[in-house]
Homo-oligomer: A and B are copies of this chain.
Amino acid sequence: MGTKRDVSRRAILGGMAAAAGAFGFGCSDDNSSSDSDDAALAQASRLASGDLQCDVVVVGAGIAGLVAARALVAQGLSVLVLEARGRVGGRTLNQSLARNGHADRVIELGGQFVGPLPGQGAWPQDKIYNLAAELGIGTFKTYNEGNYVNYGQGLRTTYSSAARVPLDLGTPNLIIALTAFNELAKQVPLDAPWNAPKAAEWDSMTVESWMRQSLLPPGLGPDVPTNHAVQLAVQSVLSTEPREVSLLRWLFYVASAGGLDNLLTTAGGGQDSRFVGGSQRISIAMAEALGDRLHLNAPVRRIQHADGKVKVAGDGYTVTAKRVIVAIPPSLAGRIAYDPPLAALHPRGFLRDQLTQRFPMASVIKVNLVYERPFWRDDGLAGQATSDSGAVRVTFDNTPYPESGSPGVLMGFIEGDEARIWSARTREERYAKVLDDMGRLFGARARAPLGGLQGYYEGLWNLDEWAGGGPTCNQAPGGLIQYRSAVSDPIGLIHWSGTETATRWTGFMDGAVESGQRAAQEVLRALS
């Protein structure tokens, strides 16, 4: 990375400090990389104000919105991107390790993995990979050497990372579920999951209902299978409990990823690789290219149709345009005031309104602990663990690039019910719990991060106003067969984007790219 890029990156990240700090919350707890006297900051984070005009407004500077903006600019259209936060990247968020003496290293508090890479099988995440490559951002392999750890029924075991599943009492049910989910998912058409042969049945039940009727019943005795591994599979993929999600939605998600193995696997799967410099760099690079077309700290409050144009308004500004792309999660898009209401703009506009009432964000906390070095590797461990209990139930080696022996980073997910419990606690309480959990999985050294609490980083997405949870939105039963394509059907001069609207790798950065490209194409066709 050259100096120029570094400066601009800090600049665009900079606004985050104020936004996150003002009310004592936010997904980053360390903003030491910000540099508020940077000239580029003033430009990139200037507030939209007054009456502006352009061809197309893009709401949201996550990957989807930036991809759409980039595509439209490339076609010569005038574009303004309005971002609510003081930073770009949406649900990707880099975190500098400066406070641990590693100012040149970055970890992530949001979405980070990429895989399979092009060439790795039939279902690669080629869209995000190729975009990153165009932007000069490379990838590196997720550390995956040695054994995995599993903690179940009070017992800690290790097993080869080449094994498909951990061996504990949950294994029989996990194998049943893996097989069944993959088979059923094959019957779900990606462009119209509501047309699956059994759509009416699958969208009438939760994943937990399927588990209760299809798995070996748990809890009948000490040698009888439990279903915790299946539960963990759902939690680790969606950050939601199996009770919350429609079976059809889950099968669509599995199909959209090319199968459950892609979702769960590291080498050659969805967690195969990471982006050099952190996944947020992708958004930052696109934002740099957009220059002053991007406005930070500019939440959109209202989208008005008037005189054949669309007026997109926030606190103190209005932008008049020919079209608008709303590239934020459906749950948040529902909080914008539409004038006239969506129901008045199209005979089926009310379906989009009702859909936004039924497409909630999951619950997640992502934690990172920074150590002097990746000590678990000395024990022959990959840093990956699964657990049937505790707050942290899935971990990864998240040591930043380039690796040089120091530091080492363990990352963990707190998901679903646990995320709701621990989001309500203090940072200190979470830290103590995470140390306990990591200690149980990786031994005493895991309890001593660099500088204690200073070595603890957390992404509190449930507390982030502009996320409302994380990592993605899921549908309860009925969501797909009742609302079908309302998540992406244009209404009036409004087009919808965001990874929740994608057909392939929905919920992932790759799906975000697809959705941004698709929305841009819609707009280009409409304006040609």
A361 to B478, CA, bound (A): 13
Q: Please, which residues of chain B bring their CB within 8 A of the CB of A201?
A: 212
Binds B, one of A174-182, A283-291, A418-426: A418-426
Q: Do A205 and B208 touch across chains, with their CB atoms under 8 A apart?
A: yes
Considering only residues 450-493 of chain A, those with a C-beta below 8 Å from chain B are 462-465, 468-469, 476-478, 482
Considering only residues 73-109 of chain A, those with a C-beta below 8 Å from chain B are none
- With A209-B209, A477-B476, A478-B244 known to touch, is A420 a contact of B337 (CB < 8 Å)? no
Binds B, one of A56-64, A155-163, A342-350: A342-350
A62 vs chain B, min Cβ distance (A) = 18
A354 vs chain B, min Cβ distance (A) = 6
Most buried by B among A242, A350, A359: A350
Considering only residues 397-455 of chain A, those with a C-beta below 8 Å from chain B are 417, 420, 423-425
Q: Please, which residues of chain B bring their CB within 8 A of the CB of A337?
A: 299, 301, 335
A24 within 8 A of B: yes
A372 to B205, CA, bound (A): 47
A393 within 8 A of B: no
Q: Please, which residues of chain B bring their CB within 8 A of the CB of A23?
A: 340-341, 344
Q: Do B244 and A469 touch across chains, with their CB atoms under 8 A apart?
A: no
Considering only residues 341-398 of chain A, those with a C-beta below 8 Å from chain B are 341, 343-344, 347-348, 350-351, 353-354, 357-361, 363
A482 to B245, CA, bound (A): 13
Partner of A206, one of B204, B213, B417: B204
Q: Do B482 and A354 touch across chains, with their CB atoms under 8 A apart?
A: no
Q: Please, which residues of chain B bring their CB within 8 A of the CB of A341?
A: 23, 25, 463, 465
Q: Please, which residues of chain B bring their CB within 8 A of the CB of A203?
A: 243
Q: Please, which residues of chain B bring their CB within 8 A of the CB of A465?
A: 341, 343-344
- With A213-B213, A340-B22, A420-B482 known to touch, is A353 a contact of B468 (CB < 8 Å)? yes
A515 within 8 A of B: no
A204 to B360, CA, bound (A): 16
A334 within 8 A of B: yes
A241 within 8 A of B: yes
Q: Do A478 and B241 touch across chains, with their CB atoms under 8 A apart?
A: yes
Q: Please, which residues of chain B bring their CB within 8 A of the CB of A359?
A: 357
A112 within 8 A of B: no
A360 to B348, CA, bound (A): 17
A331 within 8 A of B: yes
A25 to B357, CA, bound (A): 20
Q: Please, which residues of chain B bring their CB within 8 A of the CB of A208?
A: 204-205, 477
Of all chain B residues, the one with the shortest Cβ separation from A329 is: B357
A477 to B208, CA, bound (A): 10
Q: Do B243 and A477 touch across chains, with their CB atoms under 8 A apart?
A: yes
A417 vs chain B, min Cβ distance (A) = 7
Most buried by B among A22, A203, A344: A344
A83 vs chain B, min Cβ distance (A) = 16
Q: Please, which residues of chain B bring their CB within 8 A of the CB of A478?
A: 241, 243-244, 476
A225 vs chain B, min Cβ distance (A) = 18
A463 to B25, CA, bound (A): 37
A469 to B204, CA, bound (A): 20
Considering only residues 194-241 of chain A, those with a C-beta below 8 Å from chain B are 201, 203-206, 208-209, 212-213, 241
* A131-162 to B contact mask, C-beta < 8 Å, 1/0: 00000000000000000000000000000000
A212 vs chain B, min Cβ distance (A) = 8
* A243-278 to B contact mask, C-beta < 8 Å, 1/0: 110000000000000000000000000000000000
- With A208-B477, A423-B350 known to touch, is A357 a contact of B24 (CB < 8 Å)? no
A24 to B347, CA, bound (A): 11
Partner of A424, one of B244, B347, B417: B347
Q: Do A354 and B463 touch across chains, with their CB atoms under 8 A apart?
A: no
Partner of A463, one of B213, B344, B360, B464: B344
A244 vs chain B, min Cβ distance (A) = 4
Closest 4 CB pairs of A and B: A476-B476, A357-B360, A204-B243, A23-B344
> Can you give 16 contacting A-B residue pairs, CB < 8 Å?
A22-B340, A201-B212, A204-B206, A205-B212, A206-B209, A244-B477, A299-B337, A331-B357, A344-B465, A348-B424, A350-B423, A351-B424, A354-B360, A354-B462, A354-B469, A357-B469
9 A-B pairs besides A350-B462, A350-B469, A354-B420 with CB distance below 8 A are: A23-B340, A23-B344, A25-B344, A203-B243, A204-B208, A205-B208, A241-B482, A351-B424, A357-B360
